[in-house]
Amino acid sequence: MKKFKLFLFITLLSFFSINIVKADEGIVYSPRSCFGKTYGIHNNHWHEAVQNGNDWIAVGDPINSYPCTPSNDPTLKSLTINGNNITVSDKMEFQTYDEKVNIVATPNYQYTKIEYEQNKNLQIGNNLITIKITGSAGLTKTYELNVIRKKVLSTNNNIKKITIDGKEYKFKNNIIEDIFVTSNQKSLDIKVTPEDKNAKITIQNNDLKSGDNKITIISKAENGNTQNYYIKYHKSLVLSDIIGTIIGILILASPLILIIIIISIKNKKRYINNSHHYKTKKSLFKKY
């Protein structure tokens, strides 16, 4: 029983081995090139051939007719995408912003079989399309076409909202004016919201300097276009702040000072009146 199983295993293995090995592999004669490949004769029929040293070796399935006739030509003559001519090669690439493409592939021999997707809806990024041409003798060639759909980038670089130190402002001709800051303030707390979330905001010169100056806000759209906005401010000097503080204190304290002055005047008048009344009484007393 064991010998029978072993015999059966060896028989099956031999059968599969015979079918796996290509009987037609070997040196070809009369090699010739056409349609970008080399063919030669082996065992009375044609084969595609590859070079091995000085010899050409048959590969693939046998070809039963002469491969280098026009009807066997599996090559591509021309290719257009949405009316644009594409240079034909084994691997091609085309970039577009369109959502859909129309492809027209024309073989060199008009009666060969050609297979490809003529109209294709594109996704953002790579879209791989294969073009397969089959000649009458069964010769085939496959081309790869990668259609890259590029994203349409936004041109919007407008600013929707801006707050400075917590207060909302509006631009007028891309400028905000009349911002006053004290001498001890080093920068402004600026928060900018662009209309397009993909826009990039850059704030320049926000290290405040004394006098009249401006801060530049650059809004860069997704496509790279930029627009400048400005905040004009005046930063006071230290001395100005001191004087201003004193004046402010005086203004705030002026009612109290005025009350003190009025009370002082009233007290002085009362004192004068009392003194006069005392002197008058004293004179009258002496008289009597």
Give yes or no for a contact between 194 and 160, defined as CB atoms under 8 angstroms apart.
Answer: yes
Q: What pLDDT sits at residue 127?
A: 97
Q: Where are the beta strands (DSSP E) in the chain?
A: 29-34, 37-42, 45-52, 55-63, 76-81, 84-86, 91-96, 100-107, 113-115, 119-121, 125-134, 140-149, 159-164, 167-169, 175-181, 190-194, 200-204, 211-220, 226-235
Paired tokens of 138: 């069964």
Q: What pLDDT is attached to residue 43?
A: 84
Contact 232, 212 (CB under 8 A): yes
- What one-character DSSP code corresponds to residue 99? S
Residue 87's nearest CA partner among 96, 78, 95 is 78
Query: What is residue 164's predicted lDDT score, i.e. its pLDDT?
Result: 96
Residue of 47, 234, 214 whose CA lies nearest to 138: 47
Domains of the chain (ranges; CATH) run: 24-65 (no CATH), 72-149 (2.60.40), 159-238 (2.60.40)
Q: What is the pLDDT along the chain (288 residues), one digit of tens a residue?
A: 555 554 555 555 544 443 443 445 789 888 888 888 898 988 888 888 999 888 899 888 888 788 888 888 999 999 999 999 999 999 999 999 999 999 999 999 988 999 999 999 999 999 999 999 998 878 889 999 999 999 999 999 999 999 999 999 999 999 999 999 998 999 999 999 999 999 999 999 999 999 999 999 999 999 999 999 999 999 988 655 555 566 666 676 667 676 777 777 766 666 565 665 555 555 545 554
39 contacts: CB under 8 Å, gap ≥ 6:
28, 31, 32, 33, 46, 47, 48, 49, 63, 67, 68
CA dist., res. 95 & res. 114, Å (int): 23
